[in-house]
Amino acid sequence: MITPQNIFRHELIGLHVMVVDSSHAGFIGIEGKVVDETKNTISIEQEDGTEKIVPKNIATFHFKLPSGKIVEIQGNVILARPEDRIKKKFKNFW
């Protein structure tokens, strides 16, 4: 189960996401489904079918969990490869 406590270690692909804050104004407001994840970027499929690639370290995301809850995550916290995030320590965040 994906909960707000373990979302940093869990799978982001397939979740609904919205970019709420960024140092580059063009990224703000992008909304849709996560379709791919690399070490530094997240690619988002919007509702009209276009794909956008957003860098993690300059943006803030709102993830919507399958249970309906919305979690805010700063991009620089999840700055790692998808398979490395399971064992990464998030000391400075908690």
Partner 1 sequence: MLKIAKERIDILFKLADKEFSEHPERSHRYVEIARNIATRYNIRMPRIWRRRFCKNCYLFLKPGYNSQVRLSKSCVVIRCFECGSTMRVPYIKEKKGKRRERIESHIIKKRTDE
Catalog residues that contact partner 1 under the rule CB under 8 A: 1, 6, 9-11, 13-14, 35-37, 81-84, 86-87
Nearer to partner 1, 23 or 84 (CB): 84
| Gap between the Cα atoms of 83 and 30, Å rounded | 25
Nearer to partner 1, 55 or 82 (CB): 82
The least distance separating partner 1 from the CB of residue 87, rounded to whole angstroms, comes to: 7
| Gap between the Cα atoms of 54 and 37, Å rounded | 10
What token pair was written down for 74? 């700063």
The least distance separating partner 1 from the CB of residue 77, rounded to whole angstroms, comes to: 17
The least distance separating partner 1 from the CB of residue 83, rounded to whole angstroms, comes to: 4
Q: Hey, which residues does 64 pair with through a beta bridge?
A: 16, 70
Nearer to partner 1, 13 or 53 (CB): 13
Residues in the chain: 94
Nearer to partner 1, 9 or 69 (CB): 9
| Gap between the Cα atoms of 22 and 50, Å rounded | 20
What token pair was written down for 16? 């609904």
